[in-house]
A and B are shown apart, each in its own frame.
Chain A
Amino acid sequence: MAFFFAQLLTGLANASSLFLVASGLSLIFGVTRIVNFAHGSFYMLGAFIGVTLMEVLPGHFGFWGSILLTGLAVGLIGAIVEIVVLRPIYRAPELFQLVATFGVILVIQDLTLMIWGAEDRLGPRAPGLRGIWRIFGEPVPKYDIVLIAMTPFILFGLWYLITRTRLGVLVRAATQDREMVGALGVNQAWLFTGVFALGSALAGWGGALQLPKGGADLLMDFNIIGTIFVIVVIGGMGSLPGAFIAAVLISVLNVLGVTYLPSSTLVLMFVVMAVVLIIRPYGLLGREEVAGEHGQVGAPETPIRPYGRLGQAVIAGLLVLMALLPLVADQFLLILTIDMIVFALFAASLHFILGTGGLVSFGHAAFFGGGAYAAALLVYHFDTPMEIAFLFAPLAAGLLALGIGWFCIRLTGVYFAMLTLAFSQLVWSLAYQWRAVTRGDDGLISIWPTDWLSGTVPYYYFTLILGVGGILFLRHVIHAPFGYALRAGRDSPRQAEAMGIDVKRIQFAAFALAGVMAGLAGGMFVFSKGSVFPTELEIAASFDALIVVFLGGVKTLAGGVVGAGFMTVVEDWLTRLEYWRLLLGLVIIAVVIIAPEGIVGSIRSAWARYRGTGDEEVAK
C-alpha cells in the first residue's frame, strides 16, 4: 500500500510539468485553432535554456530565477515564431498551419543541435531539495513533493488569469468568435501573439521545472508531443481543468503501468484516449466543435473540375515519359521513382479522405504499414507466393480501415484526427511489441517479389501500372456520384443529410477505400524494399504524408501526387547536407507562406489570375 502511495506521488509530480505544457497547448488551440505540433519544441528549448541558466546563476535564487527567466525567454521565442511564421497564414485552410509548425519543429531541432550540441544534459538538483522524505517508509524525492505542492497554485494562477482578468475574458471570447472580438475593437493579431507567447512560456516552464527529474536531450520534443496531445484531447481541447484532470490521470496511469504492466507503456495512454473519445467524443470537459463558428470559414470551395485538354495532354505526356524512363535512367533514378510513385499513391489515398472527404486523419500510416505488414507476415511465416501475399496488402488494410473507421467516423475535426492517431499507435505498438509474430524492431526481412518481377525494371513497370492505376481510380471516384456525395457531406453535412445522403456511411466507405489504397501502396513498398519495420507505422510516417498533402494542396486532386514528388526530391537532395532538418524546415515554412493553397493550388490560382478568371477572395 505504501509503495502504491509512493507511486501515486511520483505520478502526481510528473503531472505538474505535463499540465504546464498541456495547458499551454490547450490555450493556443482554444484561441488560435492552431494545432501546434511545435509545442514540444518549446518544451525542449525550455529544458536547454534552463540548464544553461542554472549553470550560470548560483544558489536558490539562481535555480528558481532560472526557471522564471526560461519561461520568459521561451515565451519571447514563441512570440517571434507566431509573428514570423503563423501570422501570415491564419487565413489559409484549416489545419494548414500544422504543416508550418512541423517546419518549426525541424528548424528548432537543428538550431538546438547547433547551439547545445548532441550530448544529453543532466538537470541540476534543486538546491535544498536534493534528498528524500520518507512517506509511510517509502522514499519520495523532496523535489517531487514541492512539485505536487506547486501544481494547485499553477492551476489557480491560470484559472485566475482566464476567468478573472480582461485578458482572460478576451481569450475566452476569441475562442468562440474571434471575428466578432475584432469587430468590437480588439486587435486580434496581438491577442493571438500574446496567447501564443503565453502558451510557449508555459511549455518552457514545464521544460525547466522537470530538469531535476530528467534533463535535456534532443528527443524531448517528439517524446512529449504525443503525450501532451493525448492529455489535451482527453481533457477536451481548450479546457484547462480538463487538461489538469487528464494530466494527472495519464501521469498516474503511466507510473502504475510501468510497475504493473510494463508491456502496456507504449499504448496505455492511447488506449485511455480512445476509450474517452468513444464515450465522450469531445473529451472529458470539451465542448462540441461547430464548423465555422469561429469566424473562420474559408473562401467557398471551388468545385473540382476534370482537367481540360491542355491538362490531360500534359499528364498523358508525363505518363509516356515515365513509361520510357527505364530506357534512359540508371538503377538509382528508377528506385527513386519507384519510391516516389509509392509515396504518391499513399499521399493520394490520404488526400482522398482529407481533401475530398474533409476528414483529417493523423494515423494514415496504419494502413500503409498495415498493408505492408500483412503481405510481409504471409511471406515470412507461410512462404506465401508474392502474387497472393500482395493481394492481402490492400485487403488487410481495407479491413483494418473498416474496423478503425467504425470507431472514428462518428467524430469530427481534431477529435477525429486524434482518434485515428490513437489507433495507429495501437497498430504500431502491436508491430513493435508482439515480437513473436512481427519480430519487433528487427523488422521482417527478405520479402522479395516473385521471379518475374525481381528486376528493377519489371518492378518499376509493376509499380507504375498499379500506382498510376490507383491514383486514376481515386480520381475517377471523386468525379463519380459517390465523390459528389462525399464532397456534399464535407461542405455541408446537414444539407447533405436533408437531401437523403447518409453522410456517415459515405464517409465510412471512403475511409475504407482510402485504407485499401494506402495498403496497396504499402504492398508495393514492402516488395520494393524487401523488408518492413515498425517505423512505417510511426506517427512520423503519418505526418510525412500529411505534410505532403498540405504542401501539394488540399483542394486540388494533383496535390498529394505533386507534394509527394516534391518531397521525395527535396529530401533526397537535402538529407546529404549536415543541417538538413533546418533547411527542410525552412523550405516547408517558405512553401507554406508563399503558397498558402499548396503548390498546385497556388499555381492554379496564379494561372487563373493570369487568365483573368480568378476566384475573387472574400476578406474575412
Chain B
Amino acid sequence: MLSVEAVHSYYGKAHILDGLSFEVRRGEVVALLGRNGAGKSTTMKSVMQLVRPRQGRVMFQGADLVGEPSYRVAKSGIGYVPEDRRIFTDLTVMENLEVGRQPARKGAPDWTIEQLFDIFPNLKERRTNRGKHMSGGEQQMLTIARTLMGNPLLLLLDEPSEGIAPVIVEQMAETIKTLKAEGLTVMISEQNLHFARAVADRAIIIEGGEKKFDGSFAELEAQPEIRDAYLSV
C-alpha cells in the first residue's frame, strides 16, 4: 500500500533520513521504532510532504507523492496524527472534527461522528468544549478522531502514547486494535517497545535515518543485541 523508497530528507543542512526504505501492507499495523532523533517523525512528515524529500520516492496506491502538496496526500487517503497533536485550541470538539471531515472513500471505513463517539466516549461529553480546555489524553483522542473524519485508508500515528497517563495508554492500545479490526492500515511511531508490541504486527527500527531492522516482534526477541543497540529500554 505504502512504499518508501530510498528517501533522503533534510532539515536545513541536517541530513535526517538517509536513504530510508520500507513498506506498509494493506491491513497491517506497523510500528516504527527508534530513539529520540532517529528520524521517526521526519519519516511521517516525509510521507505527508510536510518535509519534502530531496531524493527518493514515496509510493502510495501506485502514485508517487513526492512534490505533492500535503492536502493532496491527505486526499489520496493518508491520515496523519502529529506528535504534538496540533488540535485547534480555539475550536470546539465538534468544530475540530469538522475541519477533518472529508467525503467517504472507497475501500476505507466510513466514520460518522456517532461511531467516533463510541470509540472515544470522552469526546461526546465534551463536544462543545474548546480544545484548549481539554486534558492531554483527551486532546490525543480528539486529534485521532479528527483525522479519522477524513476516512483514511492509512493512518500515521506519531508517538500516540507519548505524554499521556498510563490508563489512557491502555485505552489507546485498544483503540488501535479497534481501528485495525475496522480494516484500517496503521503505522505508529513509538519509543515504547511494550506498547508497540501490544498493538503492532511488525516492527521497523531506524537509527540515524537508516533502517536497522524489519521483521516480526518474535524475530526481534530473538536478536536482543538489536534491541540493545537501537532502542533505549
Contact = CB atoms under 8 A, between A and B. Distances in A.
A170 B101 CA distance: 11
A364 to B, nearest CB: 31
Contact of A177 (B11, B73, B86): B86
B196 to A, nearest CB: 23
Task: With a 10 A CB-CB cut-off, give which of B49, B52, B99, B147 has the most chain A CB atoms.
Answer: B99
B74 A183 contact: yes
Given A166-B98, A615-B13, A616-B10, A183 B71 contact: yes
Contact of B74 (A185, A615, A620): A185
Given A616-B10, A616-B12, A186 B71 contact: yes
B50 A620 contact: yes
B10 A618 contact: yes
Contacts of B133: none
A176 B52 contact: no
Contact of B99 (A184, A615, A616): A184
B52 A616 contact: no
A618 B15 CA distance: 11
Task: With a 10 A CB-CB cut-off, give which of B12, B54, B80, B96 has the most chain A CB atoms.
Answer: B12
A619 interface: yes
B128 interface: no
Interface in A259-316: 287, 299-300
Contact of B51 (A172, A186, A618): A618
Contact of A184 (B10, B89, B150): B150
Interface in B58-101: 69-71, 73-75, 80, 82, 86, 88-91, 95-96, 98-101
The contact size tier of chain B is 20 to 34
B147 A184 contact: yes
A615 B75 CA distance: 31
A619 B52 contact: yes
Interface in A406-463: none
B100 A618 contact: no
Contacts of A618: 10-12, 51-52
A12 to B, nearest CB: 30
B80 A173 contact: no
B71 A299 contact: no
Contact of A188 (B52, B71, B150): B71
A186 B54 CA distance: 24
Contact of B70 (A179, A300, A615): A179
Given A184-B146, A618-B51, A620-B50, A176 B89 contact: yes
B12 A187 contact: no
A182 interface: yes
Given A170-B99, A300-B12, A185 B150 contact: yes
Task: With a 10 A CB-CB cut-off, give which of B50, B96, B147 has the most chain A CB atoms.
Answer: B50
Contacts of B51: 618-619
Task: With a 10 A CB-CB cut-off, give which of A166, A169, A175, A616 has the most chain B CB atoms.
Answer: A169
B12 to A, nearest CB: 5
B102 interface: yes
B157 interface: no
Contacts of A299: 12
B184 interface: no
Given A169-B98, A180-B82, A184-B100, A616 B74 contact: no
A183 to B, nearest CB: 5
B13 A616 contact: yes
Q: Which 10 A-B pairs have the closest CB atoms?
A: A619-B52, A185-B74, A182-B70, A180-B86, A173-B99, A173-B88, A182-B71, A300-B12, A187-B71, A169-B98
8 contacts: A166-B101, A176-B91, A181-B99, A183-B74, A184-B100, A616-B13, A618-B10, A619-B51
Interface of B: 10-13, 48-52, 54, 69-71, 73-75, 80, 82, 86, 88-91, 95-96, 98-102, 146-147, 150
Interface of A: 166, 169-170, 172-173, 175-177, 179-189, 287, 299-300, 615-616, 618-620
Given A184-B102, A185-B75, A616-B12, 9 more contacts: A172-B88, A176-B90, A182-B69, A183-B70, A184-B80, A184-B146, A185-B100, A185-B150, A188-B71
